[in-house]
Copies of this chain bind each other. A is one copy, B any other.
């Protein structure tokens, strides 16, 4: 295995909004991407995720409209300069991507005694996120883009695509062919927020104690 190639994927991966160029998608690539997601680790092997592939335009338009309302609400809450910085930033590519993938979490899968979820209930949610990152990296490896849309009310999305209780939607992922992957993340390019140095995120043995290891 070419380890540089692996790290290249990690580094190239972006949260795509502007660069989607529509379908069609190669079905064998799509299957490999979904299989990679499904091979993620999960607490107690529950594999508590499902993937709803949304290619119906009526559903996508309804979702896009809902997201734009939530975007406005967020913008209205921002003050002064923050609002000016936020307003030019596109936060979704729902209609421009090839398909939407709604990723759901089923907390009931695996029954009542889930190995590893006995002390921390959210470990089930965590598993679904691991699957999402596998999907995201696989799509990047295949030359596709992924954009995670989170400006929505969960209840709206449940109604829209029929997600039954007690399941929860965890993400709407825009997926599809793209023109390019930007080198710099959108939120950094638009001066919303920059990247944090790795060294600031590392401690040794106790939170707040800087690393003595020479990395």
CB proximity to B under 8 Å, residues A21-50: 27-28, 30-32, 34-36, 38-41, 43-47, 49-50
Size bin of chain A's contact surface? 35 or more
Which residue of B is nearest A52, CB measured?
B203
**What residues of B have a CB within 8 angstroms of the CB of A206 in the complex?**
52, 161-162
Interface hub of A10, A192, A195 (most chain B Cβ within 10 A): A10
Is residue A54 contacting chain B, with contact meaning CB distance below 8 A?
yes
A8 lies within 8 A of chain B by Cβ: yes
Q: Nearest CB to that of A27 among chain B residues? A: B215
- Report Cα–Cα, A127/B64, bound state, in Å: 23
Question: Which residue of the partner chain B has the closest CB to A160?
Answer: B206
Q: Which of B34, B49, B51, B129 contacts A129 (CB 8 A)?
A: B129
Kindly state the separation between the CA atoms of A31 and B214 in the bound complex, as whole angstroms.
9
Bound Cα distance A96, B63 (Å):
49
Number of copies: 2
Instruction: Mark out the residues of chain A between 185 and 215 whose CB falls within 8 Å of any chain B CB in the assembled complex.
Output: 185, 187-188, 192-196, 198, 201-208, 211, 213-215
Instruction: Kindly list chain B residues whose C-beta atoms are within 8 Å of the C-beta of A55.
Output: 204-205, 213
| Contact status of A215 and B116, CB under 8 A, knowing A138-B10, A150-B123 | no
CB atoms of A192 and B74 under 8 A apart: no
Residues of chain B within 8 A (CB-CB) of A120 are 150, 152, 154
Task: Verify A207–B122 contact, CB threshold 8 A.
Answer: no
With both beta carbons as reference points, the residue of chain B lying nearest to A53 in the complex is identified as B204
In the assembled complex, the Cα of A154 lies from the Cα of B123 at a distance in Å of 12
Q: Are A34's CB and B187's CB within 8 A?
A: no
A positions within 8 Å CB-CB of B: 1-3, 5-11, 13, 15, 27-28, 30-32, 34-36, 38-41, 43-47, 49-56, 59, 70, 73-74, 77-78, 82, 86, 89, 91, 104, 110, 113, 115-120, 122-123, 125-126, 129-130, 132-134, 136-138, 141-142, 148, 150-154, 161-164, 167, 170-171, 185, 187-188, 192-196, 198, 201-208, 211, 213-215
